[in-house]
Every structure is written in C-alpha cells, then in structure tokens.
Structure 1
Amino acid sequence: MNKGIFLDRDGVINEVLSHRVKFVNKPTDFYLLDGVGEAIKKLNDAHFLVFVVTNQGGIGLGYMKKAALEKVHETMLAELAAFDAKITDIAFCPHKPDAQCRCRKPKPEMIIKLAKKHQIDLAKSYMVGDRKPDIEAGKGAGTKTVLVGNRRGNAKADLSFPDLLSFVNWLIERSC
C-alpha cells in the first residue's frame, strides 16, 4: 500500500482571503504560497503520493463553472511543474456549502475515494488543511491530521505547523 498526503487547496497550496485575492474563481486569482512547490517536490522524492481535496462551493453557488475550476487546476499544476512537483490526483466537491452532500468536507468521502483508487494506507497518511473541516475530514478518513497557516479556529489537529514546507521538512526528517 502507498502513503499519501492529502492537501486542501485554498490556504495550503495557494493564497485565499489575502490582500491580492478573496476567492480563487479564475486562473488569474491563483497565487502559489511560498515554499509549496519545494514542499510537494520533497514529498514526491520521498515517495508519497500527493492529492488535492478541495471544496469548491463556488460552482454550486454559480460564481464559477467546472471548466473555470479545471483551468485553475491547470494553472496550479503548471506552477508546481516549475519545481518539478507533481500532484497525483485532484478531488473536488462542487456543491453549495449547505447542500448536505456526501463529498463536501468535513465528510471524508473525497479522501476515501482517492485512497481506494490509488491504494493508499490511510493510517500511514496525512490530511493537511488550514481549517476545521479539513481536519475533521482527515480524522473521519483515518489519517493523521496537520493544521497549517493562521486560519486555525478551533480545529484540533494531531500536528500544527506555520506552513506546508515546515510540515514536510519535519516529516522528511522523521522518515530518514
């Protein structure tokens, strides 16, 4: 079985609610956070499969179309490619925040489906997020959980770091 790192997108990989961008609804709204390309490359080199699991309620609310989200993800993948960093797969929930669907975090369905598809041992994997729904989804799926950034709220993660690169450096040191 493989080891996986499941990453929330907004606030972990890219800026959100910053001075430059409120929400990422088009490629020009996408700004890779410092250290993310390097962090994902290190995960790739350490043989972790890296996934993005993201709620994208803007589709359900009519702020963007699925095609626009695909263009945002193409931009993300291109920016990561500049670091020779690769994402194994992306899962997203397009439903409105109050839709009560099975795939929207804090429910763990996106993580569980990716784990089955890519033969991931969830007990040896991590969910990295910047908010409580990410942490709850990881716990529900059976991963270890990591809270990054400064939008912490009352999330109770297993680990906490200022950013993705800090977590990855800790993980790689621990794995050696």
Structure 2
Amino acid sequence: MTAHNNIKHKTMLSLLYSCGLRCSELLNLKPNDIDSHRGIVIIRQSKGKKDRIAPLSLKILEMLREYYVISKPTIWLFEGQNAGVPYSTKSLQSVLEQALQKTGIIKPVTLHWLRHSYATHLLESGTDLRYIQELLGHSSRKTTEIYTHVSTKSIQRIKSPFDDL
C-alpha cells in the first residue's frame, strides 16, 4: 500500500485487506478492539450480530501504532474530520479511488474487493476453507465457497495423476 502518504488512509485500506473486513466492520472498530498482546482484531456485532476475531499482522500493528500516535482517536478507531464521529463509507470509497488513481489502475474496484482478495489469497496459500469461513464470519460454508473463486494460480499447482504413473 504505497499509493497513500496519508497514514490514516493507508492504515484503513491496509487493515481492510489484512483482516478481510467488511467496510462497516472497519468503520465500527474502536481503539480497544485492537488487542496487540494477543495479536488479534476483535470485530463486534458484525453481519448476523456475531462477534469474531481476525489475526493482526505485525506490519499492520506497527502502522496502527504510528497512526494512533498521530491521530489520537477518541471513540472510533477511524474518525472523520470531527473527533468522536466515525469515518464515512463514502469517504473511504473515495480514499480507495484516490489510491487507484495514484497507482494507475483504471478498472473499477470496490472496498469489498479487498475482502475478496484476502479470502482468495488465503485460499491460494493453502489455508483450509473452514478457517477462511471462520475468519470471514460466514455461517454457511456455501457462502465461502462461492466467495473464494478458484484461481488460475491454484489450478496450475495441481499435479496430474498421470505424472505418478
């Protein structure tokens, strides 16, 4: 995420991807939802009114610490221009669009694509679908199966049984 110089913007987009968060989940985080001692992010009352946890990358933790020192959020981890007011979804989408412009990516991308990419990259690296289901907060395995499409990279790694003859 080198497209943004703004530490808040960079941290928001990085956290969305690194934890596979929905936009609403990111914007509803509070500072105490980051548990640096256990290395997790606590996502409270997300879709389906369920709580869940996501692993916290050490790189993201460092980014969050830098952001926290500069921004000193009061109620919400990511606040809008006024203290105590959560950052808006519309503004976050605008942050993503600015990052895309800076990198020269011209195809339309949504914030949810970061979540989709997270799931796809986990699947490609060999993470079991059941863990991905848990990390994404899906109650149905079918939702996760649809959500994590089979990539060319995964297909290329499959060894033909003919090679063992």
Q: What TM-score results when the alignment is normalised by the length of structure 2? A: 0.30
| Bigger radius of gyration | 2
Q: What TM-score results when the alignment is normalised by the length of structure 1? A: 0.29
Determine which structure has the larger strand proportion and give its number. Answer: 1
